[in-house]
Amino acid sequence: MSSRRKFVRRALGGLLGVSAFPSVFASAPPSPKGGPAVVSTWKNVAANSKAWQVVAGGGSALDAVEQGVMVAESDPKDLSVGYGGRPDRDGRVTLDACVMEHSGNCGAVCFLEDIEHPVSVARKVMEHTPHVMLAGSGAQRFALEQGFEKKDLLTENARKAWKEWKKKEKYQPIINIENHDTIGMLAIDQSGQMAGACTTSGLAFKINGRVGDSPIIGAGLYLDGEVGGAVATGLGEAVMKSCGSFLIVELMRQGWSPEAACREALSRIVKKQKGYRSFQVGFLALRADGEGGAYSLHSGFSYMLNHTGEGGNQASKSWL
Ligand code: GLY
């Protein structure tokens, strides 16, 4: 390697805070798949299929991710999203969600109660206010003004789980269970526009008022339509400390593959956060050319990547 090339590699490595580039850095030519494409965290076939139908039918990526994750928000069996999500330690279901679109516009809500579709409220924040995030009672008031209706989101199952938890009141994240349904979704539509969404009821039995990574732009979701997008699932605190999704998009901008970028974001968590063996984080990325990739701390994280309408669920590679 010429000394000039060595210098450029070292300089870029220093800039990114990494000691060496993986081989994918120099070699990965963009795959020419492009859109339409939909990726989503975990095995939520119905949500992914809904989003796919929207982009396959010529709809926008933003409509696709909104309508896709709404499926999870309405599903009472989904224990970490919307209706049926497990409550905080006071028995209240509080919701976090955000959306981000191709050009960098974004909207978010956090600590929102009694509204079934926080993702749609987040979109309204993006489209109808000069702000990015509304929280708590203010977010709820805004939602009601926008025509959303109140709904009690605490199902009988979730109430029972909370009552059971209250017997010991011990907080302990359970890998792949505590957060396993937090849904993050990224899509490319037929015109090549990208959008992303992330929505959750957050960590079960959290302290009242806790907000996780899912509504935080740059943590639970980040997207730049010229480069790609990334979403996160798992322990939000770990993701927020590392600005995981922003980092992944910036690494892809530098030429890293989606999978290598997700792995590098995890390596920052492993390096800095001593407790990493006791919690799960999964990252999922979609590059603007349609190439997807994921990486998680522990095995057990899976995702759906759909380029054809028949996208299957696939296991992510894991650090541990
Ligand atoms: N990743 C979801 C949360 O921690 O709230």
What is the DSSP code string of 199-228? EE--STTPPTT---STTSBTTTEEEETTTE
Chain centroid, CA 287 distance in Å: 15
Parallel/antiparallel/unpaired status of strands 133-135 and 106-112: parallel
Total number of residues shown for the chain: 320
- The pLDDT, as a whole number, for residue 182 is 86
Dist CA 305 CA 319 (whole Å): 21
199 is catalytic: no
The CATH number for 294's domain is 3.60.20.30
- The pLDDT, as a whole number, for residue 311 is 76
**Radius of gyration from C-alpha coordinates of the chain:** 19
To test the ligand 1 pocket, which listed residue (112, 181, 182) has its Cβ within 8 A of the most ligand atoms?
182
- The pLDDT, as a whole number, for residue 181 is 64
**What's the CA-to-centroid distance between 22 and ligand 1, angstroms?**
29
* For the CA of 211, the nearest atom of ligand 1: 5
What is the strand order of the sheet 317-318 is part of?
221-224, 228-234, 281-287, 292-296, 317-318
Domain count, the chain: 1
Of the candidates 182, 199, 200, 233, the residue annotated as catalytic is: 182
Q: How many CB atoms are located within 10 Å of the residue 167 CB?
A: 7
**What's the CA-to-centroid distance between 200 and ligand 1, angstroms?**
7
Q: Per-residue confidence of the chain (320 residues) as pLDDT tens digits? A: 444 444 444 344 444 444 333 434 433 334 345 789 999 999 999 999 999 999 999 999 999 999 999 999 999 999 999 999 999 999 999 999 999 999 999 999 999 999 999 999 999 999 999 999 999 999 999 999 999 999 999 999 999 999 999 998 776 666 655 545 689 999 999 999 999 999 999 999 999 999 999 999 999 999 999 999 999 999 999 999 999 999 999 999 999 999 999 999 999 999 999 999 999 999 999 999 999 999 999 999 999 999 988 878 999 999 99
To test the ligand 1 pocket, which listed residue (79, 80, 301) has its Cβ within 8 A of the most ligand atoms?
80
Domain with 8, as residue range(s), is 2-319
* For the CA of 232, the nearest atom of ligand 1: 1
Query: Helices in the chain by DSSP H: which ranges?
Result: 3-16, 23-27, 45-56, 61-74, 118-128, 136-145, 156-166, 236-242, 244-253, 258-272
DSSP state of 104: S
Ligand 1 site, CB within 6 A: 179, 182, 200, 202-203, 212-214, 233-236
